[in-house]
Amino acid sequence: MVSDEVVDLAEALSQLVPDLPKVILLSTGGEANEAAIRLAKLVTGKWEIVGFTQSWHGMTGGAAAATYKAGRRGIGPLAAGSFGIPAPNAYRPRFPGVDWRTELDDSFEQLDRQSTGNLAAFIAEPILSSGGVLELPLGYLAALRDHCRARGMLLILDEAQTGIGRTGQMFAFERDGVVPDILTLSKTLGAGLPLSAVMTSERLAREAEAREFLFFTTHVNDPLPAAVGLKVLEVVQRDGLAERAAVAGGRLKDGLLGLKDRHACIGDVRGRGLLLGLEFTDQDGRQASEISDAVTDLGLELGLSANIVRAGNSGGTMRIAPPLTVTDAEIDLGVELLEAAILKAMAN
């Protein structure tokens, strides 16, 4: 039995992304990525999955195998056919003087040499959030899509953190004009309740049905979180929160760039909308990660919640992602507290 709330949310999502009108509603981002990977394997008939080596997609099965940021050691073999390539990093390029397109082309050349001819999908975050707030440059998604198409692969975009307005548009992929084959949403869609979604095209849905696609959980298509998700979409659109994220994000970024101008320990400020990263550099014999951790902890003592969840190595980058409803006064106060924490950390 499918409830009205589930149908209404699926319809609302399909109106936002008309090319991906088929929707499954699940509970977590990990589940959504698990379903997306399973779907890609089934419809392509292949089983190799590629992701970024700084990625975070979940902690279960296939999602964990596509997660390279942390959590890979001490648990035995992960899914066979898991490959990783580096995400572009303009601030710290792997090979100075080599542009992102050359690096991407070379990465796929290496993939082709390692693959058994069963490349099913590439799963990517438009902005690698926990991986250090690495934003894919304009043009990268289109080039990535072209590489996938040339190999019969599907493109899965994980917008758990970038979706529903955070980057200044409803979805981060809209900036690039590249609609993925499969889109996953979570976190921001439920506004605190466990809700995620997998979206795909009519063509892939038909093929999946013909091949007897199955992904079922106890709480698939639950009406309560669906009702919440529907209200989230209504409020975000009614109150113009995506547009607000662009404006507020610009104010926050200006504040962080001001800090960069005043403090030599800050090397880079990057990101989009209200998903920003502040990367420290090694300073006075201290490693960037040590400075980042100290600033985070001191900031919390001062009343600033930023970068509280940390796992693996993000190269000394603080992840700063205020609510879409953040006020100008709160942004200014946050920058002020952050500077106080930096001053205290560097004085110790």
Q: Which residues are catalytic?
A: 56, 125, 158, 161, 187, 319
Q: What are the contacts of 54-57 at 24+ separation with CB within 8 A?
A: 54/86, 54/87, 54/128, 54/131, 54/132, 54/134, 55/84, 55/87, 55/123, 55/124, 55/125, 55/128, 55/131, 56/125, 56/128, 56/129, 56/130, 56/131, 57/29, 57/30, 57/33, 57/123, 57/125, 57/158
Q: How far apart (Å, rounded) are the C-alpha atoms in residues 123 and 183?
A: 10
Q: How far apart (Å, rounded) are the C-alpha atoms in residues 336 and 315?
A: 24
Q: How far apart (Å, rounded) are the C-alpha atoms in residues 90 and 272?
A: 15
CA 144 remoteness from chain centre: 16
Instruction: Supply 127's token pair.
Output: 């902005």
* DSSP 8-state secondary structure symbol assigned to residue 57: -
Instruction: Provide the β-strand partners of residue 124.
Output: 157
Residue for token pair 């397109």: 101
Cα-Cα-Cα-Cα torsion 180, 128, 67, 280, nearest 10 degrees, comes to: 170
